[in-house]
Amino acid sequence: MNSQNKQDIAEWQDRIGARFTRPAGHALRLLHEVVELCLAAGADGKEIMQRVGYELLRGEKGGGSAEEMRKELSDVAINVEVLNRFLGGMLDTDVAAKLVIIDVRQWELDRDGVPWRPGRSPWELLERLPL
């Protein structure tokens, strides 16, 4: 990602008051977006659940260390670039365009300081489930 997009993202986070209180909250937000990406790419719910289930069955890794998170984030970045190349390598342009869109939206922060559009935080929905 180019440096201008990185700066614009940081400024957007500051404007909406996003904070970093729990790394897992932000990683789960990333998972949310990755599930949407999988669906957009044509994966079905069963495939997504199988992949998530496989990772969970392998057992918990790490425990939240910065070193472990950096390793996993590197895997994410590599796979993002592979998919970006397949789609024509326009990620910087697409991110800049998306930043224009999200900058005018309203945002609410969840208990982890992660931004969600009002009424769309999974926490709100999950808290209503009879578990």
pLDDT tens digit sequence for 52-83: 999 988 877 667 789 989 999 999 999 999 99
Mean pLDDT for the chain?
Answer: 90
CA separation for the pair 120, 33 (Å, rounded): 13
The single-letter DSSP state of residue 58 is T
Residue 131 resides in a domain: no
Range of the domain at 91: 3-126
As a whole-number percent, the residues of the chain with pLDDT over 90 amount to: 75
- pLDDT single digits (tens) 98-119: 999 999 999 999 989 999 998 8
Residue 44 resides in a domain: yes
CA separation for the pair 74, 53 (Å, rounded): 21
Give the ranges where the chain is alpha helix by DSSP (H): 3-16, 23-40, 45-57, 66-86, 91-103, 122-126
Residue 42 resides in a domain: yes
Instruction: Tell me the whole-structure pTM to 2 decimals.
Output: 0.87
What is the count of structural domains for the chain? 1
Q: Are 21 and 112 in contact (CB under 8 A)?
A: yes
**Both tokens of residue 119?**
């009424």
